[in-house]
Structure 1
């Protein structure tokens, strides 16, 4: 007998909310601008990332998930900017998993979502390199605001919580046949 997750009702609720709720255009624009500022902040901490992007200046990459999309253009400085409305993308990345909770679960496990990729192979390779090699140094940014010791303490707490969440999510994984993994399946051989 298959047992259903006690949180399965959330899946349907989130699905309906994403389909029904359409944010106003000003909110979409502001969210995209904030995302670009964050991405550029992270990129500026890694010189090699910016050097890779300089080679792609003027190229447009469009990311799409369901009916949400964001087109980014690479600037001559090796950073990103929101592409002009109607800009033709050189690369299109579509996130295939439409379920927001499943997508969050993939992210919590530290995995990449499944993508459909169309367009410029070199731009796709450079973006893949960025995803694999560039990480936000949260602890360094917190240390600028509150000092080294409190930032280190908070970062350690965050890492502990993240590891616990990953372990919880990983423990709830299912087998290939769709059945929940038993405790025996999770034990190391």
Structure 2
């Protein structure tokens, strides 16, 4: 007898809520602006990342998942800016996983989701390099605000929480596989 996992119910609920609830356009635009600020902050800490983006100045990349879209453009400074929505994308990266719960599980396991890539190959290679090599050192940023020792402690707590969440996701995925069999 196959029993359904409570996680499948939560996944269905998340998918329904995600497709039914649409944030207002101003909130999406503001979120995109804040995301660009964060991305540029991280990029400025990695000179090689900025050099790679500089080679693609003026080129646009569109990230898509379901009905969510982020359209970015490389600037002459080797950073990112929001691209005009009418600017054609030189590269489109579309997340193929439709389920929010399955996507979250994939990311929490530390795996990359499936991506459909359309467009410029060199730009895609450099975007992939950025994704693989550029990391936000949040502990370093926190240390500037609250000092080294408290930042290190918060970093340890965050790493422990992440590890526990990843272990939970792995156990839940394993349990779901056994109940479906």
> TM-score normalized by structure 2?
0.94
The alignment partner of 1:173 has SS state of helix
Give 1 or 2: higher helix fraction. Answer: 2
Task: Give the equivalent residue in structure 1 for 2:123.
Answer: 123
- 1:126-165 pair list within 5 angstroms: 126-165=126-165
Q: CA deviation at 1:165?
A: 1.1
Q: CA deviation at 1:26?
A: 0.6
> TM-score normalized by structure 1?
0.90
Runs of 5+ in structure 2 lacking a partner?
Answer: none
Contact 1:2 1:179 in 2 (8 A): no
Task: Give the equivalent residue in structure 2 for 1:73.
Answer: 73
Mapped to 1, the partners of 2:90 and 2:24 lie a distance apart of 27
Question: Where has structure 1 moved over 2 Å in runs of 4 or more?
Answer: 171-175, 178-181
**What do the CA deviations read for 1:142-168 (whole angstroms, capped 9, x no partner)?**
001000000001101111111111112
Q: CA deviation at 1:171?
A: 2.2
Mapped to 2, the partners of 1:19 and 1:52 lie a distance apart of 36
Mapped to 2, the partners of 1:179 and 1:168 lie a distance apart of 14
Task: Give the equivalent residue in structure 2 for 1:9.
Answer: 9
Q: CA deviation at 1:18?
A: 1.3
Q: CA deviation at 1:174?
A: 4.2
- 1:3-152 pair list within 5 angstroms: 3-152=3-152
Q: CA deviation at 1:7?
A: 2.8
Mapped to 1, the partners of 2:177 and 2:157 lie a distance apart of 33
